[in-house]
Amino acid sequence: MTDTTLTLGYSPCPNDTFIFNALIHGLVPCDGITFNERLEDVETLNRLAMDGALDLTKISYHALGHLRDRYVLLHSGGALGRGCGPLLVAKQPCSIEQLRDKTILIPGELTTAHLLLQLHGEGFKQVKSLPFDQIIPALDRDEADAGVIIHESRFTYQQQGLHQVLDLGQWWEQLTGRTLCPTASRCCGPIYP
């Protein structure tokens, strides 16, 4: 058997590093397969997947819709479920209607967070993409009116004096009766070509 090296992309958020730790550190037998890891924010990973630059990668579920002809969803490794979807936050309390035609930071155009914002309604066209970990600091510098946050920042945003405008995950679950992940009951994961 010949040795094979695969490129593996995932984000530096804690749940991703936990998910891929055993694979990257050789704790799972892979019989001749080694991995070159690439740590990037989720939108960079989405774009790399669009270019076919990675063998295996974590991507957004939104991006998966654009990549199903080139990648396959694995049965494990996902970190999406009930009660942990993206949040729309602002520096001042406001309604979502007050944010129409305002600048909103998003963690990437192909992220599920951006898709949910667009599905919520029209008027959210002035978006600016930033890596997920730069959204709260940019709001602190008044670079936008609001931001859609993901990962651990959804649990710490109040410490920065921000206010929740809308829990986009909760909105989706109430609207559809489903989680953001169509196969959450069996746990979703990264994809590979």
| β partners of residue 10 | 39
Given the residues 66, 75, 114, 151, select the one marked as catalytic: 151
Q: How far apart are CA 189 and CA 19, in angstroms?
A: 9
DSSP the chain: ---EEEEEEE-SSHHHHHHHHHHHTT-S--TTEEEEEEE--HHHHHHHHHTT--SEE---HHHHHHHTTT-EE-SS-----TT---EEEESS---SGGGTTS-EEES-TTSHHHHHHHHH-S----EEE--GGGHHHHHHTTSSSEEEE-TTHHHHGGGGT-EEEEEHHHHHHHHHSS-SSTTGGG----EE-
Q: How far apart are CA 127 and CA 28, in angstroms?
A: 41
151 as an active site residue: the answer is yes
Does residue 51 contact residue 146 with C-beta atoms inside 8 Å? no
Residues belonging to the active site = 151
